[in-house]
A and B are shown apart, each in its own frame.
Chain A
Amino acid sequence: AQSVTQLDSHVSVSEGTPVLLRCNYSSSYSPSLFWYVQHPNKGLQLLLKYTSAATLVKGINGFEAEFKKSETSFHLTKPSAHMSDAAEYFCVVRYYNQGGKLIFGQGTELSVKP
């Protein structure tokens, strides 16, 4: 079955330190990959997306992700965490044979300590 797995349900970092949120996808077909962020009581906001162009994708707020086909991974990173980054992050995959259907990972809650 086509799926996406976020390897950590919760990640805690100190402000100013790097962030790494891990994501693996099943590799049935070449997918499009997205990272979305959800702040408490808010909708989902797109951080970045991979659509078979450059493998290193830069997004908003200093986030970036690298598509690694050999590892079927799409990890999200940020060099220096800010308090405002505290939120839930979703890795999302979309396969060409499934139209508009997005498949969501279970989410990673990011906490940022002062």
Chain B
Amino acid sequence: QSVLTQPPSASGTPGQRVTISCSGSSSNIGSNYVYWYQQLPGTAPKLLIYRNNQRPSGVPDRFSGSKSGTSASLAISGLRSEDEADYYCAAWDDSLSGFWVFGGGTKLTVL
């Protein structure tokens, strides 16, 4: 059971906008940055969004991130077939001596 809560699945048709939520607590999302990762089948995760809403170079501006309180969201606009993947959120948790936490992942299907 993951510390960060994500919906197990999401879907959309090409061209649509979809959002994926990530819910945490005051010790993680509420007080630290949120990061998003894309994992295509059979590959390692890839950084998609850092520090809540920043895109690394090479990541299309179709991908955007936001955070409010103890929740965060990843939005994908102009959905494309190649966006079909698993998406994970992550954040540092200040509890105890500190540790990283991931969400349970969201499987995005492009219909």
Q: Bound pair: A and B?
A: no
